[in-house]
Structure 1
């Protein structure tokens, strides 16, 4: 009888050659373009927006000084005689951040833009 012998090198797994990644000049350009694309799009969006957060007017707001004996109701009637007085009072309270409906003589109030001259 004959016998067959196998050597251990016959069934060994082939070794995989590890290669280093090499980028051509075009490849480096493509990678750089892909990395910088979000930055370029962001800057383009800002440029096209045109400064949307810029205030429309730089003029100082119109103010009125409360005189002795005046109330918010009488001020509202003077500021906007054609408008509903209750609405003007509510706007005065909102614009000036008043906690209640009382004002003191000498107090300076900002006139809402809708009722400014």
Structure 2
């Protein structure tokens, strides 16, 4: 057996300019593919949101002096008004919890039979 085989130095790989271009292109294509996939998923979510916004909801018309807290208590006297107020704010895209007299407020469909609720058309 030859003693040189055991003492050979390891081979170092060196990337040429063309190799760097190839690996850079592969990385760019992978990144672009991931971004395209995320964009497609975002478009699917946006269309689902648009379909949800086209749904009809039952509504309550705020009377003078009404508040979301009072509306929540009248819709669900047994429940915690804080939870329903938060749900009403989210459902209606409100910035805060203030309401104006005559304002139509969408309510979750589970309260369609509550007193003062106008059913969806």
What TM-score comes out, normalization by structure 1 length? 0.48
Greater per-residue helix proportion: 2
- Normalised to the residue count of structure 2, the TM-score between the two structures is 0.46
